[in-house]
Structure 1
Amino acid sequence: MPRKKKSEEQPQYQFDAIVLGAGPAGEGAAMKLAKSGRNVAMVDLRDVVGGNCAHVGTIPSKTLRQTVFNIMRYQRDPLFQKVGEWKHVPLNKILSSARKVINQQVETHTRFYERNQIEIYHGHAIINGPHSLTVHLRDGGQETLTFDQLMIATGSRPYQPKNIDFNHPRVFDSDKILTLDYPIQKIIIYGAGVIGCEYASIFIGLGYKVELINTQAQLLSYLDDEIADALSYYLRELGVLIRHNETIESLETDDDYVILKLLSGKKIKADAILWCNGRSGNTDGMGLENLGLTTNSRGQLSVNDQYQTSVPHVHAAGDVIGWPSLASAAYDQGRCAGAHMVGEENVPPVTSIPTGIYTIPEISSIGKTEQQLTEEKVPYEVGQASFKHLARAQITGDTVGVLKLLFHRETLEILGIHCFGNNAAEIVHIGQAVMLNQTNNSLHYFTQTTFNYPTMAEAYRVAALNGMNRLF
């Protein structure tokens, strides 16, 4: 599609739109804008594209997870001799494969920008006023750019409380942990959200002793209770010590260890601590006040259903607006924001978002939980398929897990899908497609459909039949 010609009414703007942040949200917006004929520029702090997702978030952590998963699978296979040398390899060495994946992702996404003729500026953007910003370039110098519309997709970073010394070599956040360059035997993980639980399963898989400190009463309380309980049970089975309802009092650091003191009076000593208690939006120091915009205490921006801030020509998406802080949702949010920016109508916000939690094994869900349906007094029933009974799971050895379907007793409408087990984040999409089908959302779909055998997908047929047997 040809570029939109500059209108006589807006000759002063160099760009129709400038996007700040080359992560999933920024890329989604930039591609939508460019393909709609807009003249677009991208500004990003790094000297390559991809954002935190590619460089310190999703890609490296999930590649690390896969490496650890492979090690655990190898260790439990009786056909192979069990060896333990990998337990003494520093984390940054294990991450060597992640760097290859990151480079491949950067190359792929760089081509996207080139094909769509999006000009990229590498540096720190400071907003000067309603339609102007200055980029302080990484290679020196600066560029002042003008724009008609602005998209803020600067992402987030780990929250760092001021009373914790994150410069200490034994104190880590979820970005810094990827640089761990010495072997350890025991680690404390403070914060049992998604990132904390994921790293707990990774480190226990590497043979570390792990203490997971949870400031809440249970793990991931927004999940279906049965799934959250299954994760707690399995982490404990692997050896993770979980401490609920605990709060930090202070952290003592030494050259060779750290000691975490809790308000309950407990003292925990370990080789290192990983702080995983929240994230902050990357909005400080970018001149938002010159737009008349303010953020909440975590640096996050408020938007409406069109991802529009209180300033009409400024939109925002991704981690910088808070929930759900998922790469998958961020890309779609950016795309929707871009659609609104080019004037498309009736573009719904991103709401049907499956959870994807990459613990070992995975968790994924979409729709209502049993708690929610009970509170709403919906007459529902449950269908379950235990992985240990599936031929494919028995073949691969990944028998830990369950697929759980929640459906309306009378209409058989699928109300919720919850999966715990290997490849849960893949398995959930089969049910998602049926649940969001306006004409055929019924448990009958699974009982009347032929699934390949042996596959994990047939868990849907097993769960559906299990649920049908509960009806009377």
Structure 2
Amino acid sequence: MAVYNYDVVVLGSGPAGEGAAMNAVKAGRKVAVVDSRREVGGNSTHLGTVPSKALRHSVRQIMQFNTNPMFRQIGEPRWFSFPDVLKSAERVISKQVSSRTGYYARNRIDVFHGTASFADEHTVEVVCPTGAVEKLVAKDIVVATGSRPYRPDGVDFNHPRVYDSDTILTLSHTPRRLIIYGAGVIGCEYASIFSGLGVLVDLIDNRDQLLSFLDAEISDALSYHLRNTNVLIRHNEEYERIEGVDNGVVLHLKSGKKIKADALLWCNGRTGNTDKLALENVGLKANGRGQLEVDEHYRTSVKNIYAAGDVIGWPSLASAAFDQGRSASGSIVQNDSWRFVNDVPTGIYTIPEISSIGKNERELTQDKIPYEVGKAFFKGMARAQISSEPVGMLKILFHRETLEVLGVHCFGYQASEIVHIGQAIMNQKGEANTLKYFVNTTFNYPTMAEAYRVAAFDGLNRLF
């Protein structure tokens, strides 16, 4: 058994692992990364963020071609299969792997491929694909092993028509009708993708509103546009059992309903990848969803073991995971790079997309904060008209008296880009974080960012 010594060992090469490794090595530490795959990038690159967003982009292009009258000069609307659009995602994944492999090589970070487990609080054993075992000894260890789809015991995922958000990427045909069980972020994103390909989608939600953490107006807009693309949303439903048949799947709901489709996509929760880590050898225990508890410095109850990313739960976003990993190693190397990551914008890549930061109307009302609303509808924006993207709006919530920006909510074209302007202003001090900034700043015209100026004037006009 080969033994290697390091300052920091990072388990996982997704966004959290990469953030942790890069920050530690830049601080002069000797770093190793362990990943269970033969290629770096983690679930974010291979199964989650990158492939699903690449799929979405391709589907948006198809929808634009099929609905924009200008393209009729080229040809009639076309139908594309799911495997066709998956090829574009595979190309992006390959490029991402190549880039990230280069990062580790340039920074002289050793990468081990295999299954990692704790031998003790300073030692990790890695079982390589060849069966060989390598021992890594480190002063500090960062767990960034990510998560996987939650699979309840009562669902037969071995059935060829039953998928989760990982295995859906192996789908070799395009179903005519698809059941998506679970209407969280992943479920709504895949509902958009498949309905954009002409698939009839039944979206099963166990709550009475889609993505209830969003501003209610934004949630309602998403529901409307999903229904407009033939997504049938069934609220307040729970599954009783899933019956796999020869030519499809029958979903039996507790309400007595039976729904049949060509395939079922299970999108109901995720589980942290901690079951193979032998946590008992270091005195750690994961919760029921496989997640580790950490303090604000991303340290577990074992003083030299840290954790970041999906494996610690909220917010389970690639963007936050990178910063959490960087902050975890910042706590180790003490180079002033630590921060508690809580300024996290929501980015939901449905069609149209959604993004928000700060408080929503429901929260402000509950807190009895006197707020007002400013809106800019994209159908009136020159850039949106030029881009043939009239759907959506920007909504600014601000304090009636101080004009402080309290929340920004965006639905539509480039929402996940637009929100960062609001985020930057909300992080300023004094008058710089008020509605006056948008009124007194010249924006390029025509741009989507100009929506901030329009919304600010709309909001000011509501004051008396």
Query: Does the alignment pair 1:445 with 2:437?
Result: yes
Alignment of 1:162-311 (within 5 A): 162-311=153-302
Q: CA shift at 1:346, angstroms?
A: 8.2
- The one-letter amino acid paired with 1:155 is G
SS at match of 1:80: helix
Provide the residue aligned with 2:378 in structure 1.
387
Once residues 338 and 75 of structure 1 are traced to their aligned partners in structure 2, the CA distance between those partners, rounded to angstroms, is 48
User: Secondary structure of 2:442's partner?
Assistant: coil
The letter for the 2-side match of 1:308 is R
Q: Give runs of aligned pairs for residues 113-128 of structure 1, distance below 5 A.
A: 113-128=104-119
Q: From 430, 435, 457, give the equivalent of 2:449.
A: 457
1:217 Cα deviation (Å)?
1.3
**In structure 2, C-alpha distance between the alignment counterparts of 1:137 and 1:323, rounded to whole Å:** 31
Give 1:199 deviation, angstroms: 0.5
Q: Provide the C-alpha distance between the structure 2 equivalents of 1:342 and 1:190, rounded to a whole number of angstroms.
A: 43
C-alpha distance in 2, partners of 1:318/1:260? 33
Distance 1:126 1:352 in 2: 32
Match of 1:406 among 381, 388, 397: 397
Q: Conserved in 2, the CA contact under 8 Å of 1:187 and 1:211?
A: yes
SS at match of 2:448: coil
Shift of residue 204, structure 1, vs aligned partner: 0.7
1:156-180 Cα offsets, whole Å, 9 max, x none, are 0000111111111100000110110
- 1:86 maps to a residue whose letter is W
Structure 1 residue 220: Cα displacement: 0.4
Following the alignment from structure 2 to structure 1, what is the Cα–Cα distance between the partners of residues 117 and 437? 53
Q: Amino acid of the residue matched to residue 339 of structure 1?
A: G
Q: Which residue of 2 aligns with 1:70?
A: 61
Alignment of 1:416-431 (within 5 A): 416-431=407-422
**How far apart are residue 222 of structure 1 and its match?**
0.5
Instruction: Determine the structure 1 residue equivalent to 2:356.
Output: 365
Q: Please identify, of 286-295 and 91-100, the stretch whose mean Cα deviation from structure 2 is larger.
A: 91-100
Instruction: Classify the secondary structure of the residue corresponding to 1:113.
Output: helix
Partner of residue 29, structure 1: 20
Q: CA deviation at 1:430?
A: 0.9
CA shift, 1:184, in A, is 1.2
Per-residue deviation at 1:84? 5.2
Q: Which amino acid aligns with 1:74?
A: F
Q: How much does 1:424 deviate? A: 0.2
Give the letter aligned to residue 135 of structure 1.
V
Structure 1 residues 11-52: Cα deviation after superposition (integer angstroms, max 9, x where no partner) = x97111100000000000000110101111100001111000
* Native 8 Å contact 1:13 1:148 kept in 2: no
> Number of paired residues?
459
Verify the 8 A CA contact 2:182 2:204 in the aligned structure 1.
yes
Q: CA deviation at 1:334?
A: 0.3
**Alpha-carbon contact 2:66-2:78 (below 8 Å) kept:** no
Partner of 1:6: none
Q: Which residue number in structure 1 is paired with residue 143 of structure 2?
A: 152
Change (3 A) 1:188 1:84: farther
Q: Distance in 1 between matches of 2:429 and 2:144?
A: 32
Question: By how many angstroms is 1:348 displaced?
Answer: 2.4
Cα distance, 1:147 vs structure 2: 1.0
2:121 is matched with which residue: 126, 130, 142?
A: 130
- The aligned amino acid for 2:449 is A
- Cα deviation for residue 361 of structure 1 reads 0.4
Structure 2 counterpart SS, 1:420:
strand
Structure 2: 5+ residue stretches without partners: none
- CA drift at 1:462: 0.4
Q: Distance in 2 between matches of 1:47 and 1:92?
A: 24
Equivalent residue, structure 2, for 1:86: 79
1:8 maps to none
Percent sequence identity is 59
Could you give the per-residue CA deviations for residues 318-340 of structure 1, whole angstroms, max 9, x where no partner exists? 00000100000000000001100
Q: Does 1:143 align with 2:117?
A: no
- Counterparts of 1:130 and 1:53 in 2: how far apart (Å)? 27
Q: For residue 126 of structure 1, report the CA deviation from its aligned partner.
A: 1.4
Distance 2:358 2:24 in 1: 31
Q: Is the 8 A contact 1:62 1:358 kept in 2?
A: yes
Secondary structure of 2:168's aligned partner? helix
Q: Secondary structure at the match of 1:296?
A: coil
- The one-letter code sitting in structure 1 at the alignment partner of 2:64 is R
Which amino acid counterpart does residue 110 of structure 1 have in structure 2? T
Q: Aligned partners of 1:169 and 1:48: how far apart in 2?
A: 27
2:459 to 430, 449, 467: 467
Superposition RMSD on alpha carbons, in Å? Answer: 1.2
Paired residues of 1:93 and 1:181 also in contact (CA < 8 A) = no
Distance 1:30 1:124 in 2: 18
Q: In the alignment, residue 79 of structure 2 is paired with which amino acid?
A: W
Taking the aligned partners of 1:225 and 1:393, their CA distance within structure 2 comes to 23
TM-score (norm 2): 0.97
1:434 to 414, 425, 443: 425
AA matched with 2:209: Q
DSSP 3-state at the match of 1:95: helix
